[in-house]
Structure 1
């Protein structure tokens, strides 16, 4: 396999010992970005209908997500380039892969933030006076202002606190309700009354979608794993000189950073998986015995009511905190992640914003990630209807992003290229989501299987 990408020119020494603890922020940021609608909207409904029978499927998807974001992060650590920058070098018409990602994701970003804000508004109405519109507006504008005010370090600090609160609240709420044998769900099996098209949206929204895979590479780069991002016109330029004369030292440093990045990815995925399992428990233990499979906007209300019957006011506050932090944190992290993607795509396509990349990023935060979602929410209001558009794009894009990531990683220098096992695992992940995407998209045009 020919090498297309140079190794990062001057990787910094990796931290050791306790110093490594300060480098787990990208994993926590990714975790907060990933648990929104998939956890709150769909997971309790699946638990209400099937109990723990599909727990094994959630765990498999979680494992596949770790494989995918780890490989996305690998490219940035090894080359000092963003993943989207790597896609620019894929053979074919100029920048075709960037356009394929960029244009649909502009739509996905607007509709997803608007839909999740509508869910936050619906959840806050359960325990507080005020309207859905008021709370959704405050959430969109408030989180947008926070992203605009802070650089990466500030975003990381806020989301790290949100991540800890979310995991703690979700596990506490779930632990207070467990009475059945959750281990029965670890054995793969298909429910007798499986409704494939009830489960499909849940699978698609478990943890991050296609663009969430790319976000992890952006946050790894922004945090400085291995060093600063190289924004030169082409990192495959053979005329570029390596700044480290010792190639072996250069490779060793990149390998150490890659292992640390892999652990960071694992932390984010494990945290997100715990939240997913917690919401599945709440659905199985609180909703299923009541025979309730609520519509999306009613999930938070029903769970809050039932948990308050067990724990009183504390249970109501605990569940409401869990839901709001999950959804609001997702909006906050998504506004940063999508804006980074849009700004990077603009830089790569136009080649004219290298002097002021942050201004372009801030413009996308303000317009595409704050004002546009607010306008869409005020026009539509229904979170399920809004999020369905984002689900279509996520389903179609995930196998595309995975395939492109596999292509560019196979062209890394031999010393830091993923192993054959890692390549096969990434290919399997892409194949899994590819099948899911085909079935899901066929259902949208009226073609149903089974």
Structure 2
């Protein structure tokens, strides 16, 4: 009896400790992912549901592999990349600097959209600036514990609102299940690849290991809890994505309504909701939209600043500093500044075409880089044998790398043609 009670207490304690996975999942699902999922639902109904589910499985493998390397070796993914060659550090450095400049403007603008709709007293660029400043000072003045608590609150808000919305439109269960048959309607390849490769984060999946370390999980004994944390987070993400696909299928597909591409398409949905269910539901959706976008801002501002700080000190030969100390370093604060203030120029001047092309190229090429390097690192002797990849992890990561190479080629082809 005592043994059973002890086991139950251990399980309850494990559930109370989960958090970094919620952070990485919330960071990875932004306004662009909501639009992509809604458009897929509006064009193809439930036919691509399987792609959304598969995308969550892929991201589970990538984030779990990144965090497992951190825990198994006591080091970081950047230290592992350095083993593969110094070119990896230069590649990541160029990527993260360019990516941060463009993403900063994109994230601020996306969050400003629902805020402008809710409170039209000031224009969108002003709300975008306020969003950036809020993210800057929140991350600068708080440590991981407060950051995680706020992220959990925003995840709860967006999850409850979006799932409630899916329930409100009363989907047919047989119709939903039909979306798990791996069908591929004509013209759906682009959206299928986008759902698998985009929803749930890109570079932020590699930041999971840093949040795990800041949480205080160090050493192989934390791997089982990390896997529970990671799987729980992406199950929540999967339900969230399915909810948005249901909304797209039930509200838009059946009525033949097309959303505008880009983050502004979510405002189209707000208008549809107001016409069908009234202003209260529409306002609730805008609040969920704002929580989704703002959680990505907070997550990227914190996680990528940790990532950059680790890169900077590795380049200086000081990469063994503890993750818990990186939040206090000048490099952390410098990247936080870089994400916030220089991108504000784009809020008023627009995005230069050359930067858009470069951002697309680096963004498309990062995910195959991550998948391939994880295969190399997690099968190497640098990782304790019990923490190395099994056959299933290798299959999923190999499949992911092939998928992301196809996605990279597709995106580059579109950018240059």
Tell me the TM-score normalized by structure 1: 0.83
Corresponding position: 1:436 with 2:401: no
Corresponding residue number in structure 2 for 1:371: 341
SS in 1 for 2:343: helix
Verify the 8 A CA contact 2:51 2:192 in the aligned structure 1.
no
- Structure 2 unaligned segments of length 5 or more: list them: 1-8
Verify the 8 A CA contact 1:205 1:391 in the aligned structure 2.
no
SS in 1 for 2:341: helix
Corresponding residue number in structure 2 for 1:107: 98
2: CA distance, partners of 1:389 / 1:48:
30
- 1:202 CA displacement: 4.7
2: CA distance, partners of 1:167 / 1:320:
13
Corresponding position: 1:282 with 2:251: no
CA distance 1:77–1:297, shift in 2 (3 Å): closer
Q: How many residues align?
A: 399
Corresponding residue number in structure 2 for 1:323: 289
2: CA distance, partners of 1:165 / 1:283:
20
Match for 2:270 among 300, 304, 309? 304
CA distance 1:114–1:217, shift in 2 (3 Å): same
Match for 1:37 among 31, 35, 44? 31
Match for 2:119 among 121, 125, 128? 128
Query: Over residues 256-310 of structure 1, what are the superposed CA-to-partner deviations in whole Å (9 max), with x where a residue is unaligned?
Result: 4211111111112112222211221221122223322222243222211222233
Corresponding residue number in structure 1 for 2:21: 27
Match for 1:117 among 91, 98, 108? 108
- Structure 1 unaligned segments of length 5 or more: list them: 1-14, 228-253
Verify the 8 A CA contact 2:51 2:195 in the aligned structure 1.
no
Query: Over residues 73-131 of structure 1, what are the superposed CA-to-partner deviations in whole Å (9 max), with x where a residue is unaligned?
Result: 111111111111111111x4xx2111111211211122123112212222222232131
2: CA distance, partners of 1:44 / 1:443:
22
Verify the 8 A CA contact 1:201 1:391 in the aligned structure 2.
no
Segment drifting more, 368-377 vs 339-348: 368-377
2: CA distance, partners of 1:396 / 1:176:
39
1: CA distance, partners of 2:358 / 2:39:
20
CA distance 1:435–1:280, shift in 2 (3 Å): same
Corresponding position: 1:395 with 2:364: yes
What aligned pairs does 1:230-245 form with structure 2 within 5 A after superposition?
none
CA distance 1:316–1:284, shift in 2 (3 Å): same
- 1:444 CA displacement: 2.4
Verify the 8 A CA contact 2:79 2:319 in the aligned structure 1.
no
- 1:410 CA displacement: 1.0
SS in 2 for 1:134: helix
Corresponding residue number in structure 2 for 1:208: 201
SS in 1 for 2:370: helix
Higher helix share: 2
- 1:432 CA displacement: 1.8
Verify the 8 A CA contact 1:204 1:395 in the aligned structure 2.
no
1: CA distance, partners of 2:276 / 2:74:
52
Corresponding residue number in structure 2 for 1:248: none
Segment drifting more, 333-342 vs 391-400: 391-400
Segment drifting more, 362-371 vs 28-37: 362-371
Verify the 8 A CA contact 1:410 1:418 in the aligned structure 2.
yes
Corresponding position: 1:71 with 2:41: no
Corresponding residue number in structure 2 for 1:60: 54
CA distance 1:98–1:353, shift in 2 (3 Å): closer
CA distance 1:324–1:405, shift in 2 (3 Å): same
Say what the alpha-carbon RMSD is for the aligned residues: 2.4
1: CA distance, partners of 2:66 / 2:95:
20
Verify the 8 A CA contact 2:41 2:247 in the aligned structure 1.
yes
SS in 2 for 1:316: helix
Verify the 8 A CA contact 2:63 2:209 in the aligned structure 1.
yes
Verify the 8 A CA contact 2:171 2:246 in the aligned structure 1.
no
SS in 2 for 1:187: coil
